Amino acid sequence: MQNQFLAGRPAFARGQRRTPSLLSAGLLVSLGLSLSTLSSSGWAQAVVTDAATLPSVSVSASRDDSAAQADTVSAGALGSRKQVDTPFSTHVVTSEEAQDLMATTANDLFKYDPAVSVSSENSVSENSMFNVRGMPIDTLNSIKVDGQSFPSWDTDLPLEPFEQVELLKGLSGFMYGFGSPGGIVNYVLKRPTDDPYRSVSIDYQSAGVFSEKVDLGGRFGNDNRFGYRLNLVNEDGNTAESNGHVRRKVASLAVDFRVTPDLTWSADAFYQKRKTNGTLFGLMFASGLSIPDASTVSHSLTQPQNYYQTEMASFGTGLDYRISDNWHASLKYRFAKENRTNSDSFLYVSDDAGNYSNTLYAAMTRYFYQNVDAMVQGKFSTGSIKHDVVVGAGFQTQTSEYSNSVGWNDGYFLGNGNLYSSTLLTNDEVSIGSDLYRQQRTTQAALYASDTVQLTSRLSALVGVRYTQYRQHVYDTTGAVSSQYSADPVTPTLALMFKTDPYSTLYASYVESLEQGGSASNTNANYPATFGPLKSKQYEIGFKSDHSKWGANLALFRVDQGYNYTNSANVFVQDGTKRYTGVDASGWLALTSEWRVVGGVMWLDTKAVDVDDVSVEGKRVYGAPRFTVTGRVEYNPAYLRPLTLAFGGKYVGSEAVNADNSQFVPAYVTYDLSGRYETKIAGKDVTLRAGINNLFNRRYWTTAWGYYVSPSPTRTFVASATVQF
């Protein structure tokens, strides 16, 4: 429940509520240990008091819709619910908030959530990725579009076609089926607007990337029964990174038809093609070497032959039927495809002098997904006890196609270089391997049901269960089955919720989940070994509150997850358990009508248990910071309400690079500065935004997958102008 973590207006426009105690206010202020960025203009205008009569405020229809939607989260098999009424940790970012953040990826959306730590950025690596509470997001199973699985292997979905992006932290077994315990990222598509909507934007990013964006929506026909929403994006230019260039095109269209007042048919399609020059797969340091200070390393580690390209397309359709005031049914289908072409380098650093060998991996891979889901949600009472039930079924298929070329299996040797100097390396034999074969096919058939039982006016209980029939087949290059796995798990969810007031919930929850087993990469000695499903358990106690002038989220959690890692022999293994125990807390407070502070902190203790490898047993889990702090201060001056200024930052603690903890990347702090100004030109609403990311050009390392690191992006200036009419 953290939509208020990124923008003030939705949280400040909810009417009369109780004011916080001095103790609560003090705790929230103490969380803002450092300052973070966002221009959330006009938030002070929406601050309401406990007076009986509210002041009049001018708010556009689109923002009203955004605020209302930000209050809710799509919780998979639980249906759509208010964030404060769910017994899980959630964080929702609307499209308007994304614009204020000038976000281009999910990394940008959740950069000020203390539970989120970045593992790579698409300006320097293949794609943008992050961990939640030290656990990575599963890009094969945990990325959703309107609640349905979407292929996102080493790629980034465009943000422009989506109304909001929802992060469910932790396990999701009952709600979404298979997926890693890091969480679920659900992209909610923009749908037709009831009123005409038109906006045009021009964006700029240093050193010379320009974007043109169009967003159109409305209704037409008899009784406005037909609706549409169109988004178009064109982006091109040189980035601030060495050898960096990006080219991106996006097109999306969503339509609907109100067949009757109770029955609506909808359909959507979107397409993106993105190519980035100057990307790295990552760097690996030989055993026994320490990770050098990132600020001393050359900024020119990529080669002219390095690039990364993804192309994705999706089509979805569905029916929504309001059976009665208390009952609702839906049926939906989605097809999605991703083509991935990589021609990027893996650098193996062999000594303390920084000498490395450069191997370029060049190949194409493909992913095909299909989803069918049916769900019924309703409410009824048995005496004084109220029930909110959900019953549903789903079926999905996932197919992966890999290349069998030299460029994928062995790579092309470009030559040797040094981390502290720039060296031109090329190989005329490099070519993209397109001889694809079906490497894997997975099917999941699921039945689920839940009942949220309201025992008293304050106390309720959630009981949910999902049965999944999981089948996985792995194939060799001849098409023969090399391995296969099957599982028929029943994953329960249990929770108790107590409303301390109408806007606050104290909860305790237990969740079980299964995730797809790990696979050795083409740099592991046992490639292409694939393992069976991993089981996870999560225990969480939390409190969430969303008042008019303050909000808070607190969660104490423990997660036990099956462990897969690369051992000292460079063999990828699946062995033992990763245990994550921690506190995830955040809050915001309107100090005055002009000043607002936001802060968050996460403390995390991780260790490997019951692991056969003595060098790994008891060690910290790789890629998990022990401590993270975020904060932001926003200033909306009374003498110039159209202007909002913000300054902030994030501290991320040190992280282990590998399972045996022989290498670490150090802690780092980044700062950002931003501003937003709203005005009118020729009678049209115009919004101007500008900011500097990584204000002091801090150089640092990020780490993922248990053996490699990636360099950080350089300081970047961003700006945009949006005209709405």
| Residue pLDDT, tens place only, 643-660 | 999 999 999 999 999 999
pLDDT at 246: 97
Cα-based angle 203, 206, 211 (whole degrees, multiple of 5): 25
Q: Give the lowest-confidence range in 28-37, 431-440, 499-508, 526-535.
A: 28-37
pLDDT at 138: 85
Is residue 354 over pLDDT 50? Answer: yes
Is residue 32 over pLDDT 70? Answer: no
Whether 328 contacts 322, CB under 8 Å: yes
| Residue pLDDT, tens place only, 488-523 | 888 899 999 999 999 999 999 999 888 877 778 777
The number of C-alpha atoms within 13 Å of 620 and in the hemisphere containing its C-beta is: 19
Q: Given CA atoms 661, 663, 666, 672 in this order, what sign does their dihedral have?
A: negative
Domain assignment of residue 469, given as a range: 3-724
pLDDT at 4: 36
Amino acid sitting at position 64: D
d(C-alpha 680, C-alpha 332), whole Å: 41
Burial class (CB in 10 A: 0-12, 13-18, 19+), 502: exposed
Sorting pLDDT into bands at 50, 70 and 90, what band is 63?
Answer: very low
| Residue pLDDT, tens place only, 569-595 | 888 888 899 999 999 999 999 999 999
Sorting pLDDT into bands at 50, 70 and 90, what band is 531?
Answer: confident
Sorting pLDDT into bands at 50, 70 and 90, what band is 44?
Answer: very low
| Residue pLDDT, tens place only, 239-257 | 999 889 999 999 999 999 9
**Residue 680: strand pairing partners:** 685
| Residue pLDDT, tens place only, 692-715 | 999 999 999 999 887 899 999 999
Whether 628 contacts 616, CB under 8 Å: no
* Neighbour count for residue 281 (Cβ, 10 Å): 24
pLDDT at 70: 60
Total domains, the chain:
1
Tokens of residue 539, six digits:
């225990």
* Neighbour count for residue 332 (Cβ, 10 Å): 19
Residue 725 to residues 196, 213, 430, 515, Cα–Cα distance (Å)? 9, 14, 50, 46
d(C-alpha 392, C-alpha 375), whole Å: 4
Is residue 15 over pLDDT 50? Answer: no
Q: Give the lowest-confidence range in 25-29, 217-221, 261-265, 479-483.
A: 25-29
Residue 153 to residues 150, 198, 309, 310, 437, Cα–Cα distance (Å)? 9, 33, 12, 10, 17
pLDDT at 485: 83
Please tell me which residue, 170 or 497, carries the higher pLDDT value. Answer: 497
Confirm whether pTM is higher than 0.85.
yes
Q: What is the mean pLDDT of residues 671-687?
A: 96
The CATH number for 16's domain is 2.40.170.20
Residue 4 CB contacts under 8 Å (≥ 6 apart), including other chains: 10, 11, 546, 551, 588
Q: Give the lowest-confidence range in 18-22, 291-295, 375-379, 448-452.
A: 18-22
Whether 81 contacts 75, CB under 8 Å: yes
| Residue pLDDT, tens place only, 550-573 | 999 999 999 999 998 888 788 888
pLDDT at 532: 76
Element (H, E) at 601: strand 595-609
Cα-based angle 182, 503, 43 (whole degrees, multiple of 5): 85
Is residue 385 over pLDDT 80? Answer: yes
Tokens of residue 694, six digits:
């990584």
pLDDT at 76: 73
Sorting pLDDT into bands at 50, 70 and 90, what band is 139?
Answer: confident
Is residue 526 over pLDDT 90? Answer: no
Residue 375 to residues 129, 180, 378, Cα–Cα distance (Å)? 31, 23, 10
Q: What is the mean pLDDT of residues 340-369?
A: 95
pLDDT at 686: 97
Residue 619: what are its φ and ψ, rounded to 5°?
A: -85, 160
pLDDT at 58: 36
Written as one string, the DSSP assignment of 344-385 is EEEEEE-STT-EEEEEEEEEEEEEEEEEEEEEEEEEEEETTE
Please tell me which residue, 36 or 83, carries the higher pLDDT value. Answer: 83
Is residue 20 over pLDDT 70? Answer: no
Sorting pLDDT into bands at 50, 70 and 90, what band is 51?
Answer: very low
Written as one string, the DSSP assignment of 634-650 is EE--TT-TTEEEEEEEE
Is residue 33 over pLDDT 60? Answer: no
Q: Give the lowest-confidence range in 6-10, 154-158, 160-164.
A: 6-10
The mean predicted confidence, pLDDT, of the chain is: 88
